[in-house]
Amino acid sequence: MRGFFVVFEGIEGAGKSTLMHRLSRELERRGIPFKTTREPGGPRTAEAIREVILQRDLPIEPMTELFLLMASRYENTVKTIIPALEEGYIVISDRYRDSSVAYQGYGRGIPIEFIEELNEKATLGLKPDLVFIIDISVEEMLRRIESRGGEKNRMDSQEIDFYRRARRGYLLMARENPDRYVVLDGTMSEEKLIAKIMDIMRQKMKEKGVGYAL
């Protein structure tokens, strides 16, 4: 596919949305065509599924949660991500298939192979060209969730060990696939982080032969 697919992953409050926003501004400034999306969510139907997944007081079985995420992922993949990549856009997603491996797999204990099998169906086999794992400790995560205030959603309200397992899962995935995954220390300044992100994207896009230079 012609475009370039970048995903931001990491536990709650790691800085994914902040960095995606910064990256969008950098790309706008350079006149580079890009689209952003998020998971769960993206197209309207997937956003409706997101509402169900994130409602804190709605009891959901782990398997139901997994299937809802996969349904949302399929909608996002076929309606938003693949068409944009085919047109040559840079697509930036706030979470994608590795969130399910980290959260539902390492976090909730659903077998990883089963999740990857569903991921293959839900993504039509699509893998990101580059995954930034924004890494913070669970203690830092708690501080950030508290200072953010407001209503907590279901994914902000899990037991502490759930996030420790998810974080470990992310770091393992990165270790197993060093060519496509980059772990960034989420406690560095936003300026340093965005500079690193731009450097790495520049290099990876060149390697892939994407038509624009950053």
Ligand X SMILES: Nc1ncnc2c1ncn2[C@@H]1O[C@H](COP(=O)(O)OP(=O)(O)OP(=O)(O)O)[C@@H](O)[C@H]1O
Binding site for ligand X (CB under 6 A): 10, 12-18, 144, 148, 186, 188-190, 193
Please choose, from the candidates 10, 15, 4, 180, the residue with its C-alpha nearest in 3D space to the C-alpha of residue 95. 10
Tell me which of 1, 11, 15, 17 binds Mg ion, using CB under 5 A.
17
Pick the closer one to Mg ion by CB: 21 or 127: 21
Helix (H, G, I), strand (E, B) or coil at 113: helix
Give the angle 177-193-104 at the CA atoms, nearest 5°: 45
Least distance to ligand X, CB of residue 7, Å: 12
Q: Where does this chain touch Mg ion (CB under 5 A) — which range of 8-16, 102-110, 111-119, 204-212?
A: 8-16
Pick the closer one to ligand X by CB: 20 or 126: 20
**Cα separation, 97 vs 123, whole angstroms:** 8
Least distance to Mg ion, CB of residue 94, Å: 6
Pick the closer one to ligand X by CB: 97 or 210: 97
CB-based contact 81:122 (threshold 8 Å):
no
Q: What is the DSSP letter of 58?
A: S
* Binding-site size, Mg ion (CB under 5 A): 2
Q: For residue 1, count CB atoms less than 10 angstroms from its CB and return exposed for 0-12, middle for 13-18, buried for 19 or more.
A: middle
The residue ranges that bind Mg ion (CB under 5 A) are 16-17
